[in-house]
Chains A and B, each alone.
Chain A
Amino acid sequence: GAGVSQTPSNKVTEKGKYVELRCDPISGHTALYWYRQSLGQGPEFLIYFQGTGAADDSGLPNDRFFAVRPEGSVSTLKIQRTERGDSAVYLCASSHTPNYPTDTQYFGPGTRLTVL
């Protein structure tokens, strides 16, 4: 079946602009995760949704970052007043639910965000 998809694959924006990144999870997965990966680093957790609600948003770096998942499927990560330090690859993952001990997160290809 289809994996996790993310759009756009690349996004170039100017400092101070607003951007939206989209994630379409694997069908049937109720949990959705956003991570950020800087060059040479491992992915860093941002936020996790169980259904429509954010179960853990403690990884969001500041209030310029916000994510929604209004119908429990597609999610959008929104970044306001972008800064050059926001440049990174933003990864989305989905899983059935982390409440299951054997739960596995499957990742999408990522969106490469460049803030000029």
Chain B
Amino acid sequence: EDQVTQSPEALRLQEGESSSLNCSYTVSGLRGLFWYRQDPGKGPEFLFTLYSAGEEKEKERLKATLTKKESFLHITAPKPEDSATYLCAVRNDRGSTLGRLYFGRGTQLTVWP
């Protein structure tokens, strides 16, 4: 069964204190691992897609990496505006469930000044 587990559930950082969020997954045929950011009362906002082990992508203070079993979202020198819930999701390559994203429960990040 395709499954995504994110840790920690919640993370509090002081502004400028770098850290990493973890996403462990099991999927039969990875067709993409996705990171989204979700602010309270809003829908998920797309950040990155990773497709194969060893791939990395960056956007401002965020960097996403992928191995065969997990992905990390590294946050360098975070600012209070980075506070949000970060969601990880995977898609498999089975034709019957091609459109479905399997989400983790998210990591709630709080960055205080």
Contact = CB atoms under 8 A, between A and B. Distances in A.
Contacts of B42: 109-110
Contacts of B51: 101
Interface residues of A, number: 30
Most chain A Cβ neighbours within 10 Å, of B43, B44, B97, B101: B43
Contacts of B4: 42
Interface residues of B, number: 27
Nearest first, the 8 A-B pairs at minimum CB distance are A42-B103, A48-B99, A107-B43, A98-B99, A45-B100, A98-B98, A107-B44, A109-B43
Interface of A: 4, 31, 33, 35, 40-45, 48, 50, 55-56, 58-59, 91, 93, 98-99, 101-110
Interface of B: 4, 31-32, 34, 36, 41-46, 49, 51, 87, 89, 91, 96-106
